Every structure is written in structure tokens, then in C-alpha cells.
Amino acid sequence: MPPTRADAVRNRQRVLDAAAEEFRIAGLDVPMSEVARRANVGIATLIRNFPAREDLVAAVFGPAMTAYADRAAAAAADPAPWPAFCDFIRYVCRIPQDDRGFGQVLTTMFPGVEVLEAERQRGLREFVRLVRRAKASGALRADFSPHDLPLILLASGGVARPLGPAADRLVGYLLQSFSSINTDALPALPPVRALYAALEAGSSISR
């Protein structure tokens, strides 16, 4: 009996569920054959639904990226900008601990993948607004840049995965260093274009 439309819908959902779990545990470089095995479908079924890895990544993490941008917007609108900034940084630093794949999504560029890049840009705009308000409150150091966020994610991700909750100590140190009471000058941030080009070029994600 040929597969029905209902079979196709079920198989697609199985692939999405399997990919979400594999990406969460192992990151975005997990073999597609392993996703198909976990989903109990053939590799041909996976490729028919998601011809490129980016298609699967976008389908799995599109809602999470929207939730991330919404979280940034809520923080930017909070009447207490410094506590909101600290809470947002704690949230961001927990992401690699909770979901290795989403942590990689946030530090990897996906040119042409609209569902990810549009929400990434919205999240960045809201974070810029949050940073401006936290600086205006006098609590956030003046030389903090919104484009420090990928560096924070990469640093916390490298510690969070092996250490788990103990990585919260690093986040505490980071937040103290961001306070305006620390006035020692920071090294210059690389040009923003160069920073994001390096993130894109340095990604190990199989295309």
C-alpha cells in the first residue's frame, strides 16, 4: 500500500522530533543518518522533507529563535533595565547548557535562511535597546557593546557543557565585570563585520 498523506505528515514530525533531540544533545553536526535512525525513517524520507541540513535546522529552531527574540524584546521593555539585562544574560548563557544545538545556532550565521536570520536581527535590535537603557541607568559600563553577545555565548558554551550548573559561577563573574563600577578599559572589539564573518567562517557545521 503506498504511503498516505497522513503517513507523510507523521514521518515529517518524527524527523523533527528526532532532530530536535539529537541537536540538543550532540549539536548541529550530528549525522543525518543518526537523525533518520532515531526517527525510524529512511534517509530518503528525511532528505525528501529536508533537502539540506539548513532546512532541518530552520524547521527545528525557527520557533526557538522567535522565542529568543521575544525574550529580548521583553527585557528591553522592562522598567528596571539593569536587572533585566542581567536576567537576559543569564538566560542566554544557559542556552548552550540546555540545548547545545540552539547555542550553536545563535553563534552561526545562516545567510539566506530567513526564518532564522530575520529573528536573529530582531533579537539583536531589542538587545541593542536593552543595552542602551541599561547604560542610561548608570549600571552598565559605557564600553559594553551589544556585539559582545556572541563572545559571551561562545565563552559560556565552552564552560556550560562540561560543567553544567557550575558554569553559573562564570556568569556571575561576567555580570560583575559588566557593571559600571569597573572602569578599567577593555581591549577593542573587532570590527563588527569582521566579527560576524569570523563566526560564519569558523562554523564547523556541515553544510
Here the CATH number for the domain that contains residue 171 is: 1.10.357
Our count of domains for the chain comes to 2
What global pTM score does this model have? 0.84
* DSSP secondary structure letter of residue 4: P
The C-alpha atoms of residue 139 and residue 81 are separated, in whole angstroms, by: 9
Together in a domain, 108 and 90: yes
Interior CA angle at 146 toward 71 and 158, to 5°? 80
DSSP secondary structure of 177-195: HHBTT--SPPPPPPPHHHH
- Sequential pLDDT tens for the chain (207 residues): 455 678 889 999 999 999 999 999 999 999 999 999 999 999 999 999 999 999 999 999 999 999 999 999 999 999 999 999 999 999 999 998 899 999 999 988 888 899 999 999 999 999 999 999 999 999 999 999 998 998 888 887 766 565 566 667 778 888 988 998 866 666 776 666 666 666 665 554 554
* Structural domain harbouring 113: 60-203
Instruction: Kindly state whether residues 18 and 72 are assigned to the same domain.
Output: no
Task: Kindly state the cell numbers that stand for 200.
Answer: 560564519
Residue 58's CB is within 10 A of a number of other CB atoms, namely: 19
**What CATH number is given to the structural domain containing 38?**
1.10.10.60
